[in-house]
Amino acid sequence: MKIAVTSIMLDEPEEFVERWVKSAMDADVMMLADTGSTNGCDEAARYLGVEVHDIRIRPWRFDLARNVAMALVPEDVDVIVKLDVDEVLADGWRDALEAAPRAARYSYQYVWNYDEHGNPDVQFMADHTHARWGWTWRHPVHEALEAAPGVNAVAQPTDMVIEHRSDSSKSRSQYLPLLEQAVKEDPTDDRMAHYFARELFFRGDWVRARVEFTRHLMLPTSTWAPERAQSLRYLAKMDDYPERWLLRAVAEDPSRREAWVDLADLMTSQGETALAAAYAHRALSIVGRPGDYMTEAHAWDDTRLSELAG
């Protein structure tokens, strides 16, 4: 199996580039597509043995940049591991990938962030490792892989682990206009609607966020219960009476802890200890943390929940 580890890059800290290279050393090809860096990170990568290509995308969008980067991967590569420069491959990644049955797409454990104690917080199964041929990136931002006709898009699970080590100094300013562009291009895409609403929430534009979360919930394509429950949880954060939204969230997806824990915490803040205990007990009855990005570590703190449950 010939493996390429690759991504796009722009003005990354040199220590991030060094860390990226160190984690990807077992790859047959290490390749980065630089989109216009001015801080010298492209030369640092070349010095460390990375194949670097200079590309320009105007107007900017992530999917086009990733598709150009993918087109630059050597034709005889079997598998592409998309690894952003703020991510690292855990030790043993190549053995884990090669041990899995051959497939057109592979999934792996993805650690998105860490709590204040350095323990993994949000972690889920991601699937951005794929065969060299048969794939296209789609959407201006929060881009997703789209399989060509006839390609089996079901991901083969592996024991590979990728850790996200984010650069908190990087601006998110480009995300909002790109997400707005995404929902204009495809107003029926429920995933883009949810992400756009979430970004509006993060920016403090709660009026538009409420509208977009509501639109997400009304879309015929919005059928994934965890994401619907998440939209309701965000609506609760923007309301003087959050309980009504949280009750809808647990009705939408009672199999997840997060909304039950929100209710327990809300009741605790209101001095309703009996209700808080009941909701905490209900959360504790759910075992087996789901493997998607909606899970949050605080909802799986059994010690704290046991204290609330009495």
> Does the residue 14 lie in any domain?
yes
What confidence score (pLDDT) does residue 256 get? 94
Locus of tokens 């570590």: 297
Report the number of distinct structural domains present in the chain: 3
Instruction: Check which CATH number belongs to the domain holding 86 and give it.
Output: 3.90.550.10
Are 216 and 120 within one domain? no
Are 25 and 154 within one domain? yes
DSSP code per residue over 214-242: HHHHH-TT---HHHHHHHHHHHHHT-S-T
Give the structural domain span for 208. 174-223
Assess whether pLDDT exceeds 90 at residue 167: no
Assess whether pLDDT exceeds 80 at residue 105: yes
User: In this predicted model, what pLDDT tens digit does every residue of 32-87 receive, in sequence order?
Assistant: 999 999 999 999 999 999 999 999 999 999 999 999 999 999 999 999 999 999 99
Locus of tokens 């323990």: 119
Are 160 and 178 within one domain? no
Are 118 and 248 within one domain? no
Are 96 and 122 within one domain? yes
Instruction: Compute the mean pLDDT over every residue in the chain, rounded to the nearest whole number.
Output: 95
Assess whether pLDDT exceeds 90 at residue 290: no
What confidence score (pLDDT) does residue 169 get? 67
What confidence score (pLDDT) does residue 223 get? 97
Assess whether pLDDT exceeds 90 at residue 295: no
Q: Please give the backbone phi and psi of residue 225, each rounded to the nearest 5 degrees, phi first.
A: -55, -45
Are 287 and 158 within one domain? no
User: 256 Cβ partners below 8 Å, 6+ apart?
Assistant: 226, 229, 286, 290, 294, 295, 299
Assess whether pLDDT exceeds 70 at residue 183: yes
Q: For residue 155, what are the CA distances in angstroms to 16, 101, 102, 235?
A: 28, 11, 10, 32
> Does the residue 229 lie in any domain?
no
Token pair listed for 13: 């800290």
Least confident of 72-76, 127-131, 241-245, 292-296: 292-296
Greatest distance between any 2 Cα atoms in the chain: 64
Task: Please compute the mean of the pLDDT values over residues 239-261 and round it to a whole number.
Answer: 97
How far is the C-alpha of 79 from the C-alpha of 133, rounded, in Å?
Answer: 9
Give this prediction's pTM. Answer: 0.89
